[in-house]
Structure 1
């Protein structure tokens, strides 16, 4: 293996193509299949850190963006001589990424393959087929940097904390790495590696679009929750040792403004904030709103309904906020209590009322089958309420028992799984759950009916058509809707 001291290491970050004949996994949110593409800023932050530390032969190869085939991927590997490949994997991508690993090994058996993300953090053993695979568990940045430096210098890397690897055919788990306390120490994501890609978020209706994060983690305890892929990896690893969720980390307002300024200079017109919970208090929210208004970038975020005040709704409305994603899941208070959502249906109506008052577009996220208390009638009630509220968008998904969540343990214990173990499914059309009052087929039929009933309703169609300013925006949104409804 070459050393930095004499010859530059070739480092390649891969997003493998679809190899398992399924819709590609969304690797930033981590819990769905792709509806519209978004840049993986978690991976690009690792790229930026390596670049900052002097690695100058870094490549970023995304085979999903251009829908490239297995043959194109194989040809690439045949002609590539990377020393290290990096793959950010989520639960839904693991099987596909293992197929990619087979092709890497066929063409480049001497290269290291470093896996990161929640998938490898939980399914560590699956990713270790030889002594050339290494799993970086949990928060990846500092571990990947230390590991890459050691490999580049020909040094022993087997004692580095935060990794797992094979030792004499057995999986060796080194101790966990402590979580970062200062997120401001990290460089901004290396967006210059993807400047040729015109990402578009139909909720923002303008491009080019990028994503950004101002905090890590969420203190709440929704039983089903799969947070953003970085947070999920962080949670899975931290809970192994501490038995609880990790602390929340925040970036400073100064760091946030500096990144927004850089994003603006790079020509981006829209930002989707990927924080698991964006709104914490009025002061922080107000500071960020002023930044967004200053640079004239439209944006959207995710928030809890109990965090929305009238003052915050007004700030959002005056600063170019084009959507707020609200995780409401159900309008039934018993179900909300069972899933430990920590909100009431009254709070849902109040938050939506304030946001609509200040002309902030609202998107509701609703889960089908989130509790064994769910029935066909509770689901009919939820659909009626969602339509009656006349918000801008509603996203219906079937709950999935993702390994690493409390809901997964409950599903196994109570026999709600239709399979012996978790099977990756597309939550936008498939169920592997069954309850006494609802079968998996019931949930799939209700999901399809809800989607067609809502997305083809006159209110939704007219509302969306009014918001488009050109044909390109309309066609992007139409493609996303087609994927949502029909795959």
Structure 2
């Protein structure tokens, strides 16, 4: 059997960050079905590969897959569906599968909206995809009643039984990075860390988050239980990446890497022995001075904290379960440990956010002085409490999934105090007021280590200026059969 796993083309990347990462989720799925069933698997990552409908048709004819799976976030749902339609036009017998948080949040609606998908995978994908492939190998053309799926039953849509989560993540093989063309991933794995200066890959050491934030949909896929890989299993993957692929930097992409202190300390010791550098995300409430110093000694060069807002009322409203004091302490401790810091903040993080609370967020940034700041407009993705509240209160003008993005035209939603245009204006104003301060620019220049760093800084800064001062581009109307 042949299987293709597809990351759809992204019509517009953020030119402010140009974050480019390996599709480790697809590489993990590929490794699992390859090991369990011997499925010949390919990964087509149109996030970095050139794409055209003609090219896709030609590739399908040459590879002749039995099934094609699409990994879909909400803004790419329509794009993936158009690609799936091309698959069906090329060969109607190819099974088209959609997975990811969008279908997990609204499974029946996804298949109803997009007839080009035969099956949807709800939640964690490895075991479900393996069973779909096994049934296909046994001759089932379009498998039905596979636990963990939404499927078509004649003219009806059905949701099969829920599939239990994988109990022991150490049972998973290491991701099939051999299916990736590393040369195509030239950009920032994480803001400030360029693949042009380091050999970078992403690493997942756990799944899930116990904190059900108002704007987050992590629970849709992983529920609210956190499951950890052992330090031994994690370090085995790191060692393979170093020895087989020449990786020297790892971006740990867990929802929050710093849960489970004893395991984290064991991983840090192993990373130090392997001589690699790394960065991660963390909650401000999960670190202290001692832990951050240990992380720095083991190669941690950057840590990103989800701050979201400088308003205590907002932090409580979005169920963040952190305090302003914890934010200030975490950034100060990371700076003393010599670790670069990044702050994630939001505009419109809750529908009731006021102009004064946005200003409080800016004032907090001035106090904590992060090395990088990412300013997002909160997107009401299906499956989040934010989506449910905004839908209930009539704040979403239309549910055109192409528009559920933070870098295209104006949002198709508003809040109690901000119009779509206000949200964009506030985001850009926040970026300008933070990044164009002389002190901020001087701190960036002080971090440069040589000509390569300088070239990266000039390139990134130029694109950032273009983004915050340029006109937000609208997507072109899709051509017949096209994906953009």
Q: Say yes or no: does 1:287 pair with 2:273.
A: no
Asked if structure 2 preserves the Cα contact closer than 8 Å seen for 1:321 and 1:360, the reply is: yes
1:296 pairs with 2:285: no
Q: Map Cα deviations across residues 359-394 of structure 1 (whole Å, 9 max, x no partner).
A: 111100101111244222221232132134322101
Partner of 1:225: 216
CA distance in 2, matches of 1:457, 1:390: 11
Tell me the distance in 2 between the aligned counterparts of 1:65 and 1:116.
20
Runs of 4+ in structure 1 over 6 Å off: 420-423
- Give 1:285 deviation, angstroms: 2.1
Q: Is the 8 A contact 2:71 2:100 kept in 1?
A: yes
Q: Does residue 81 of the first structure (1) align with residue 64 of the second (2)? A: yes
> What is the rounded CA distance, in whole Å, between the counterparts of 2:200 and 2:184 in structure 1?
7
Instruction: Measure how far apart 1:348 and its partner are.
Output: 0.7
**Normalising by the residue count of structure 2, what TM-score does the alignment of the two structures yield?**
0.87
The CA distance in 2 between the partners of 1:269 and 1:115, in whole Å, is: 33
Q: Distance in 2 between matches of 1:410 and 1:436?
A: 12
1:412-452 deviation digits (Å, cap 9, x = unpaired): 22233233687642224643333343222111101111122
Match for 2:162 among 176, 192, 209?
176
Aligned partner of 1:190 among 166, 170, 176: 176
- Where 1:92 maps in the other structure, the secondary structure is helix
Change (3 A) 1:180 1:421: same
Residue matched to 2:128: 143
Counterparts of 1:201-212 in structure 2 under 5 Å?
201=189, 202-205=191-194, 206-212=197-203
Quick one: distance in 2 between partners of 1:469 and 1:33?
22
1:339 corresponds to which of 318, 334, 339? 318
Which residue of the other structure, out of 364, 380, 383, is the alignment partner of 2:362? Answer: 383
CA-atom RMSD, angstroms? 2.6
Distance 1:302 1:193, change over 3 A: same
Residue 452 of structure 1 pairs with residue 432 of structure 2? yes
Find the aligned partners of 2:20 and 2:118 in 1 and give their Cα distance. 28
The reply on whether 1:370 has 2:346 as its aligned counterpart is no
Aligned twin of 2:329: 350
Once the two structures are TM-superposed, the CA of residue 94 in structure 1 deviates from its matched residue by 0.4
1:66 aligns with 2:49: yes
Call closer, same or farther: CA 1:329–1:116 in 2, change over 3 Å: same
Q: 1:23 aligns with which of 1, 4, 12?
A: 12
Work out which of the residue numbers 42, 52, 60 in structure 1 matches 2:25. 42
Is the Cα contact below 8 Å between 2:128 and 2:149 reproduced in 1? yes
Once residues 458 and 34 of structure 2 are traced to their aligned partners in structure 1, the CA distance between those partners, rounded to angstroms, is 38
Q: Kindly indicate whether the alpha-carbon contact (under 8 Å) linking 2:210 and 2:226 is maintained by their aligned counterparts in 1.
A: yes
Q: In 2, Cα distance between the equivalents of 1:50 and 1:33?
A: 36
How much does 1:195 deviate?
4.4
Structure 1 residues 187 and 33, CA, compared in 2 at 3 Å: closer, same or farther? farther
Does residue 109 (structure 1) correspond to residue 95 (structure 2)? The answer is no
How far the C-alpha of 1:351 sits from its partner, in A, is: 1.0
Q: 1:226 to 1:393 in 2, by over 3 A?
A: farther
Moved more, 37-46 or 424-433: 424-433
Q: 1:160 aligns with which of 146, 156, 160?
A: 146
For 2:5, what is the secondary structure of its paired residue?
strand
In structure 2, the residue corresponding to 1:93 is in which secondary structure? helix
| Change in 2 beyond 3 A, CA 1:472/1:190 | farther
Distance 1:198 1:131 in 2: 29
In structure 2, stretches of 5+ residues that fail to align are 473-484
2:252 paired with 1:264:
no
The size of the alignment, in residue pairs, is: 457
Partners in 1 of 2:180 and 2:457 — Cα distance?
Answer: 21
Q: Which runs of 5+ in 1 are unaligned?
A: 1-8, 26-31, 236-244
The alignment status of 1:213 with 2:204, answered yes or no, reads yes
Q: Does the Cα contact within 8 Å between 1:198 and 1:208 map onto a contact in 2? A: no
* 1-structure distance, mates of 2:354, 2:248: 43
Query: Which one of 222, 225, 228 corresponds to residue 234 of structure 1?
Result: 222
| Partners of 2:343 and 2:280 in 1: CA distance | 12
